[in-house]
Amino acid sequence: MTRTSGLYIVALTNIEPIAVNAHDLRRAERCIRVNHENCKFGKARDLALRQRAYWRTFGRAVVRFRPIALLDRIDEAEREVLGRLSAWRLRGSTGRRNEWLSGISVDEVERIAWAVLVQSGFEVRGIGLAAWQGLAGAGPEALNRSAT
C-alpha cells in the first residue's frame, strides 16, 4: 500500500471526555479532553497511519475518520484552513490554539476546508473517502460506515 497524504477530519462518538494524549500517560493529565462535541481538522503524510494512531488513542469504536482531500501541499493547506477555523479552535493549558474544534459540525468544517482549498488554488488529487484506498482490507465501503 502506498502512502497517501492529505487532509482529514476526525470526530468522536464518546460521551465522557478522553485526553487527546491518552496513549501517553506522562502527558494525558495535562492535555485537553475531547468527546462527541468536538472534531479535529488535520493533515497527514500517511492517512492510514494517522487513522491507526487515532484508534490507538481513543479506541477504534469511537473514532470517525474522514479523509476530505488528497494533496501534496498539506502543510500550507492545513495552515490556510486552520486560519479560517480559528474561532472554533480549542486552546490548551498553555493558551496555544490546537487543531481540535468545538461548536462546529464536521460537515461545516468540510465545507469551509473545501472553500479555502478552492479559493487558494490548491491542486487536489482526490476527494474524500471515494479517492482514498484506506487500510488494507478496509476499503472505502467499509470506512464509509465509520466516517459518517
Instruction: Determine the 3-state secondary structure of 134 from DSSP.
Output: coil
pLDDT band with cut points at 50, 70 and 90 for residue 147 = very low
pTM listed for this prediction: 0.82
Per residue in 69-94, pLDDT (tens digit) is 999 999 999 999 999 999 999 998 88
Phi, psi of 121 (to 5 degrees): 75, 30
Helix extents (H) in the chain: 25-28, 47-58, 74-84, 106-120, 128-131, 140-146
Per residue in 16-52, pLDDT (tens digit) is 998 887 666 666 566 899 999 999 999 999 999 999 9
Longest distance between any two alpha carbons in the chain, whole Å? 41
Contacts for 75 with CB less than 8 Å, ≥ 6 apart:
43
